[in-house]
Chains A and B, each alone.
Chain A
Amino acid sequence: MSARDEILAALGGARAPHAPPPLYAPTRALDVDLFARFAASLAAAGGEARALRAGESLADALAADLAFASAARVWSSLPEVASRHPDGSPRAPHDLDGTDVALLRGALGVAESGAVWWAPRDALERAAGFLAERVVLVVPRTALVADLHEAYARIDLGAEPFGCFVCGPSKTADIEQALVIGAHGPRALTVWLK
């Protein structure tokens, strides 16, 4: 008997279950300012939420950001902002090491936690999102939801081989519980809502 058969037999065979419990329906507060809540949650997670002003383009907002303006290596998944690859176009995920800023498109934002759903288009974008020193995620303001239940209802999970809720920059508190922002991944995260 294969290991598979033995294990399934030990578990009593593969009968179809009685119906699973009904999908959970959360308690939701009404009249929540989603942007304010999202911004507060993201700040608590070590990130920053900013809103584009009416008529302001992302390119304008970034131009005013000194750190971005002086960044040598930029990965951009956004058509309106150009990438900067002074060492030539990256061809493998490893080539993204040394990226200063990764500009990524987020599909939605979760007010309860400050998380953003990001489904990179390819292996290069995925690597950029974790190797970059700083990540900028751009999310449509209308794509803010209250909580994760709402988020999963909108996501087509499995449509992409990789999808990630990004909630602030990487962090750790493994040394004496002292919070350090910027562990192995990005050291800063900004979410622009437009």
Chain B
Amino acid sequence: MTHAERAGDFLRDPERARWHDASLWSLREKRDRAATAVPDWEALREAAAAIKRHTLASLPFYLARFEERARARGAVVHWARDAAEHNAIVEGLLREAGATRVVKSKSMLTEECGLNPWLEARGIELVDTDLGERIVQLRCERPSHIVMPAIHLRRAEIGALFHAELGTPEGLDDPARLTLAARTDLRRRFLGAQAGITGVNFAIAETGGIVVCTNEGNADLGTALPPLHIACMGIEKLIPRAADLPVFLRLLARSATGQAQTAYTSHLHGPRPGGALHIVLVDNGRSALRSRADFADALACIRCGACMNTCPVFRRSGGHSYDAVIPGPIGSVLEPARAPSAHASLPQACTLCGSCRDVCPVRIDLPKQLLAWRGELLVHTPHAGARRTALRAARFAFEHARVYAALGALARLLARVLPERWLSGRWNAWTRGGRALPRIPRRSFRAELARRRR
């Protein structure tokens, strides 16, 4: 199925689609208010963009430095070429520690690597502790947004889920009481966990430390209690110096949810006394993307989700219509690199309005990359042959003014003369969604002009 087909399904429930759009728009408005309150917002974006580009350009240097400094603090650093290697490393560490009860805080990287199904298939119980992730885990579905995983769900649906899975009273749908039920359940799991897995928001080369940001405190509960902490990160998460952190931190939460800062910004330098910290550095296609001039910039992403909140298409189609680990504008740039054929429809799920570019805290030119993908992925789109032919035919027509004018006149004649039934059939993508045909003029501009000047 393409994004367009899934989006069509999503829109078949107009009330839900309207509600989803309004939820995400309100996040966009919160972000606007937060950004306006920071007088040097644009300068911060510029600085963040420059720091990321610099770091990515010298990535091997900073990775080597980070590894050296992290190890000096007592962390163990592992390297994984791809998802399978990452999963095997994590599994190995858990087995070594005899850990079969594991808690995990939000990590899009582990989602990308398919860690959950991997470990579950091997008898390791893995509980996602971010409330939104816990909800989608219990529903056996993917997160629909990288920051708000359950934003596609109404409270009644979550209430029904918790009634089935956590034993909450039937019909209870109050968010505060549902959250309390999850709190109680997860508190048990934190206390019983033998290992905690987290993602990494930023890794600091200079100090060898990692930074994890949450609102719920779940990453901290998952790492303050069990003795083993495994931190999984994509190699692009590096920044050079501690003094660069505030640039990103001042942008991150404001871009994501409109908050000035997340409730917890935790900095880990080596394991806690008596514990172990393992950091897994993952490539999984990042070095390849970095070598592509057209798309390398996408690695600057700090996973704030602002592009999703502002995207008029995302808001009206939902994250699941992208059928990818990361949806929305940034997902539509990253995912085709991983699987061009599977994700060929994603760069077309876009009007190129440019709003995502304006909200991106690290100034990734998303529309430019989406346009570049369209050329590359043409061969993978449905009816690619017909599209190619149509493009060549259009080029021919537009290269010959008289051919163009004649075809235009013919098309207008047919549109005026043929019965509407024929013109507005299911085949006509212009009228299918509820548009009438435009009013068709008798004469083109050039014909009118010629008449005038006679």
Contact = CB atoms under 8 A, between A and B. Distances in A.
Interface string B245-287: 1110110000001011111111111111111000001010001
Nearest to B288: A10
Interface stretch (A53-61, A72-80, A82-90, A110-118): A110-118
A185 B186 CA distance: 10
A123 B150 contact: no
A180 B179 contact: yes
Closest A-B pairs by Cβ, 4 of them: A185-B217, A17-B58, A148-B246, A183-B216
Interface string A139-169: 0000000011101110101101111111111
A14 interface: yes
B81 A166 contact: no
Contacts of B271: 161
A14 B148 contact: no
Contacts of A182: 179-180, 183
A142 B274 CA distance: 35
B297 interface: no
B187 to A, nearest CB: 7
B130 interface: yes
Interface string B18-45: 0000010011000000000001100110
A113 B260 contact: yes
A8 B63 contact: yes
B244 to A, nearest CB: 8
Interface of B: 23, 26-27, 39-40, 43-44, 47, 50-51, 54-55, 57-64, 67, 73-74, 79-81, 85, 129-132, 135, 148-151, 153-155, 158, 175-176, 178-180, 182-183, 186-187, 190-191, 204, 207-209, 215-218, 220-221, 224-225, 235, 240-247, 249-250, 257, 259-275, 281, 283, 287-288, 290-291
B44 A164 contact: no
Given A149-B246, A184-B218, A177 B26 contact: yes
Interface in A180-194: 180, 182-186
Contacts of B180: 182
B151 A177 contact: yes
A16 to B, nearest CB: 6
A166 B214 CA distance: 10
Contacts of B262: 167
B175 A180 contact: yes
A26 B46 CA distance: 12
Given A10-B287, A26-B44, A170-B215, 7 more contacts: A16-B58, A20-B240, A27-B43, A114-B260, A123-B272, A174-B132, A184-B129
A172 B158 CA distance: 15
A182 B175 CA distance: 12
Interface stretch (A62-70, A99-107, A125-133): A125-133
Given A45-B260, A94-B191, A126-B272, A14 B61 contact: yes
Contacts of A93: 224-225
Chain B CB within 10 Å, residue with most, of A26, A158, A160, A166: A158
Interface string A16-55: 1110110110110100000000000100110000000000
B40 A27 contact: yes
Contacts of A41: 260
B240 A180 contact: no
A185 B264 contact: yes
Nearest to B52: A21
B39 A27 contact: yes
A175 B268 contact: no
A24 B183 contact: no
A163 B267 contact: yes
Given A183-B216, A184-B218, A11 B261 contact: no
Contacts of A11: 59-60, 63, 235, 287, 290
B272 A175 contact: no
Nearest to B281: A7
Contacts of B55: 20
